[in-house]
Amino acid sequence: MGDDYPTLFRSEQMSLMQFLIPTEVAHDTVAELGELGNVEFKDLNPAVNPFQRSFVGEIRRTEEMARRVRFFESQIQKEKDVVPIRPLYNSAPLVTVGPSAAHNIDELDVTLAEHETRLVQMNDSYKTLSERTRELVEARHVLRETAVFFEKAETQQTDIRTSFDDSSAPLLQHDDREQQYLSTVQFDLEFVAGTIDRTRISTFERVLWRVLRGNLYMNHTDITEPFVDPATGTETRKNVFIIFAHGDALLAKIRKVAESMGATLYPIDANADKRSDSLREVTARLEDLETVLYNTGVNRRSELLRIGENLAKWQDVVRKEKAIYETMNLFNYDVRRKTLVAEGWVPTRDLTMIHMALRHATEESGTSIVPILQELRTNKTPPTFTRTNKFTEGFQTIMDAYGIATYQEVNPGLFAIVTFPFLFAVMFGDIGHGLIIFFAALYMIFKEKKWAKQELDEILGQFFYGRYIILLMGMFSVYTGLMYNDIFSKSLHIWHSGWDFPESDGVSYAVSNGHMYPFGVDPAWHGADNGLVFTNSYKMKMSIVLGVIHMTFALCLQLPNHIRFKRPLDIYANFIPQMIFLQSIFGYLVVCILYKWSIDWSTRDTEPPSLLNMLIAMILSPGKVDAASQLYTGQGFIQVVLLLLAAVCVPWMLCMKPYFQWKEMQMIQGQGYVGLGHRNGGPRESADEVLEIEEEGNGRVIVEEMEEEHEQHDFSEVVIHQIIHTIEFCLGCISHTASYLRLWALSLAHAQLSEVLWSMTIEKFLGMSGIFGTIALVMVVVFWFSATVFILCIMEGLSAFLHALRLHWVEANSKHYQGEGYLFTPLSFAKLDEKE
Amino acid sequence: MASIIPVIFILAMIIGLMACGYLFVPKGPHQTTIRTAIMLTLASCYLMWMVTYMAQLHPLITPYRSSSKGESI
């Protein structure tokens, strides 16, 4: 195309290019193209199983590396003390193209494997060491507590005799006697000592009691500090117990019961000296273990820190390599010429950039064979690519959400830049609220660079993505607020009002003083009892006027499409009757609204007619216009003419296009072509195949996808399609025009909410005086402001956003938009980042 | 004072501004966007002003208040 610059009006022109890439340069070429982000590669091996593709081995290796990198990331995240990860823009890049690339990747593979084994080893040893530490700590507790028991037993000896006669605790006496017996025998009684979970101790006691029929003496104490499981972090509390019993059988039973209840038994010596030896030994071992544990921890942390330095770089490299090999899997390997053949869509404007990139890649890799680029002719539909910048991106996205534009049709996103915020503002009109959202958007734009790098959470991220939309919404809202004369439910009194209110005790009727409030709604209406009557009528009529004009504008966007795609039939068969239909009824309504407003009814002798009744009467009883309530002379005749025009448009829309298409089909059939494509193309194809083998690099598309749907020009389908189209348009005209009344409804709701908030909060507290009054006023102002931001700005804002969007998607787009395209998704390393 | 002339006068002014916007935006990658934005903004703002002005030219009802309240702000 001859245009110098890309425009948002249509999607870019795309070309299908065939790349012939020598195998040695393939990796570097794809890397370079990925950095550019301008080529969407087609899959040339659609029938091949992913496991049978040529580069499966490399992908497997990259996956292994990716897994290791993910493992490192999870280990770093689990650390309580944050391990800093050096951000990508701060890291030294790892060279992945050029002659040293393969060596670098191998080195990376080895490094990652080493780090992983080291880390896994350290993790394992840390775990085993912690377990052993725990056991030793338990053993130490057991030793200490049992020492206490034995001491207590010794001291209790002397007290026992005195309480001998007490019969309330017979078993205890029995035990004490046993102990007394023991003390003389130097504690020859066998015992079992160990630890058990605190929750289980009572069950343990009961079970033992039943099993041994009371032939035991058990004592237990709590271990004060809990044991923390290093893997899960759960705390368990344990008790130390010691059980004295007599006889091997009993001891065996005790041991079995203890094991079944999950207790850990420790060998304790009866001799006090031996016990203190063991205690010393345990303490020494514990100290050693703690040192080792500490060192392991330190080593692990330093390892993680080292990993953290490079982690972002590795993630980036691994991601890119995977993308490169996946893309290379899409290529076709030409065995004869030892090159890879690739096909991809490229924006025509960027072809020189691609050429330069290819040349750069070959230079980097050190070979002298430049990949060859060829344009292919095809009748496949190219993808739709609209070049956006950070400002237009948001608007394009919200219009794309309805449907991607067909290749090179008029892009509604361009116009949405202004019409969307404007229609939003009509529903939101308030100077104060508009300023609030304007400043919020301005703040986000100031923080743009910083926030773009961060990971914003979902909701804030959405608002940040649409910051320019919100900015424009705020600006237009200030304008419409000026028009509605509404700032936080008060009105401004900038110019001379057109009404004067005379002093009166009862009802005070305003008197016109000749002035005309030049810019916006007269502030006299604010606070008037019939203010709503006026504003409702004004806003409703405004909604209809704006709606019909918006729909007319959208309808006119059909013209560039018909001209571009060379469909003159559509102009005469679709566009013109649709326009006449819309204008003859609703355009006429708009003209009547404006005309009625422009007449000074006090100088006329006819009554001002109700426009709604007039429109209904026009359709139901055409030609009959009551002279006393006519808008203008000759109205009856003109209305009949308009109605007839509209009536003629319906069969025009229904019949003209099918008729002409039918004539065209007859003509084609008459010239002897049966079916499409195959038979005619047959002989030609085989001749070309012979030539292909001899020619070098001809422009044939490698994969002739037979998926091309040849449209069946079945006449019945054409007729049905046209009927649906006609009905949809005609009914749509009426329903869509009424739908625009939401502009009135939402602005009314907004104004009323705002007024209610003011009168229920601040107004009630304005009269209060004194310290209490001031404090209460301040608190109420805070409440009023937060309610304004959350309810009126955010909630109402979202609501108005949604309705404005609906107006664009349904009412406007249905007049011209086809939306059958598919989005251009180039191989782009920058976008890979966003995807994660 | 309340006449239809300002509507026509301002319409002429807005059309003039739209023409300026169309002619004087420099060529560049954003020419279409800026042109469309300027022209649509002028058109829509004028429309809204025109409707508001005409609705109050010859009003069919007069405002009235039942108690004498002070004027706003």
Spatial separation of the C-alpha atoms in residues A716 and A380, rounded to whole Å: 26
Give the model's confidence band at A481: pLDDT under 50 very low, under 70 low, under 90 confident, else very high. Answer: very high
* Among candidate residues A301, A293, A263, the one with its CA nearest the CA of residue A133: A293
Q: Do the chains contact at B58 and A501, CB–CB below 8 Å?
A: no
Residue B14 neighbours by CB under 8 Å, 6+ apart: B42, B43, B46
- The pLDDT mean for chain A works out to 85
Q: According to DSSP H, which parts of A161-169 are helical? A: none
Render pLDDT for A248-262 as a digit per residue (tens, 0 to 9). 888 888 888 888 888
pLDDT, residue A703, reads 47
Residues of A in contact with B58 (CB under 8 A): 597-602
Spatial separation of the C-alpha atoms in residues A33 and A25, rounded to whole Å: 12
Q: According to DSSP H, which parts of A621-761 are helical? A: 635-670, 678-694, 715-739, 742-760
Q: What is the mean pLDDT of residues A503-522?
A: 87
3-state secondary structure of A192: strand
Question: In the predicted model, is pLDDT for residue A660 greater than 70?
Answer: yes
Assembly ipTM: 0.93
Nearest by CB: B63 against A6, A389, A524: A524
pTM of the predicted model, to two decimals?
0.81
pLDDT, residue A682, reads 41
Give the model's confidence band at B67: pLDDT under 50 very low, under 70 low, under 90 confident, else very high. Answer: low
3-state secondary structure of A518: coil
Share of chain A above pLDDT 70, in %: 90
Render pLDDT for A462-474 as a digit per residue (tens, 0 to 9). 999 999 999 999 9
| Shortest alpha-carbon distance between residue B22 and chain A (Å) | 15
| Shortest alpha-carbon distance between residue B10 and chain A (Å) | 12
Give the model's confidence band at A676: pLDDT under 50 very low, under 70 low, under 90 confident, else very high. Answer: low
Q: Do the chains contact at A510 and B64, CB–CB below 8 Å?
A: yes
Among chain A residues, the shortest Cα distance to B42 is held by: A418
**Which amino acid is located at A762 in the chain?**
I
- Please classify residue A3 by burial: count the beta carbons closer than 10 Å to its beta carbon, then call 0-12 exposed, 13-18 middle and 19+ buried: exposed
Q: What is the mean pLDDT of residues B5-33?
A: 92
Question: In the predicted model, is pLDDT for residue A817 greater than 70?
Answer: yes
Render pLDDT for A559-582 as a digit per residue (tens, 0 to 9). 999 999 999 999 999 999 999 999
Q: What is the mean pLDDT of residues A7-27?
A: 89
Residues of A in contact with B28 (CB under 8 A): 5
- With beta carbons less than 8 A apart as the criterion, state whether A323 and A827 touch: yes
Question: In the predicted model, is pLDDT for residue A115 greater than 60?
Answer: yes
Spatial separation of the C-alpha atoms in residues B68 and B63, rounded to whole Å: 13
| Shortest alpha-carbon distance between residue B5 and chain A (Å) | 11
Element (H, E) at A315: helix A272-329
In 3-state terms, chain A is what percent helix, strand and coil (to 5)? Answer: 65, 10, 25
A677 versus B58: the higher-pLDDT residue is B58
| Shortest alpha-carbon distance between residue B2 and chain A (Å) | 6
**Beta strand segments in A237-323, E:** 238-245, 264-266
Q: What is the mean pLDDT of residues A352-379?
A: 86
Give the model's confidence band at A156: pLDDT under 50 very low, under 70 low, under 90 confident, else very high. Answer: low
- With beta carbons less than 8 A apart as the criterion, state whether A623 and A640 touch: yes
Residues of A in contact with B1 (CB under 8 A): 514-516
Q: Do the chains contact at B62 and A538, CB–CB below 8 Å?
A: no
Spatial separation of the C-alpha atoms in residues A31 and A832, rounded to whole Å: 13
pLDDT, residue A243, reads 85
What letters, b where the CB count within 10 A reaches 16 and e where it falls short, cover A13-44? ebbbbbbbbbebbbbbbbbbbbbbebbbbbeb
pLDDT, residue A710, reads 46
Render pLDDT for A189-213 as a digit per residue (tens, 0 to 9). 678 888 888 888 888 888 888 888 8
Q: Do the chains contact at A528 and B31, CB–CB below 8 Å?
A: no
pLDDT, residue A697, reads 44
Q: What is the mean pLDDT of residues A612-635?
A: 86
Nearest by CB: B72 against A426, A493, A504: A493
pLDDT, residue A693, reads 44
pLDDT, residue A694, reads 42
Render pLDDT for A731-765 as a digit per residue (tens, 0 to 9). 999 999 999 999 999 999 999 999 999 999 988 88
User: CB count, 10 Å around CB of A761?
Assistant: 18
B64 touches chain A (CB under 8 A): yes
Question: In the predicted model, is pLDDT for residue B68 greater than 80?
Answer: no
Instruction: List the single best residue of B33, B42, B50, B57 to mutate versus A (max A Cβ within 10 A).
Output: B33
Among chain B residues, the shortest Cα distance to A528 is held by: B65
Among chain B residues, the shortest Cα distance to A533 is held by: B61
Give the model's confidence band at A185: pLDDT under 50 very low, under 70 low, under 90 confident, else very high. Answer: very low
* Among candidate residues A262, A259, A254, A257, the one with its CA nearest the CA of residue A238: A262
pLDDT, residue A685, reads 43
Instruction: List the single best residue of A12, A387, A411, A418 to mutate versus B (max B Cβ within 10 A).
Output: A418
Question: In the predicted model, is pLDDT for residue A184 greater than 50?
Answer: no
User: CB count, 10 Å around CB of A756?
Assistant: 11
A720 versus A676: the higher-pLDDT residue is A720
Spatial separation of the C-alpha atoms in residues A392 and A416, rounded to whole Å: 10
Q: Do the chains contact at B32 and A7, CB–CB below 8 Å?
A: yes
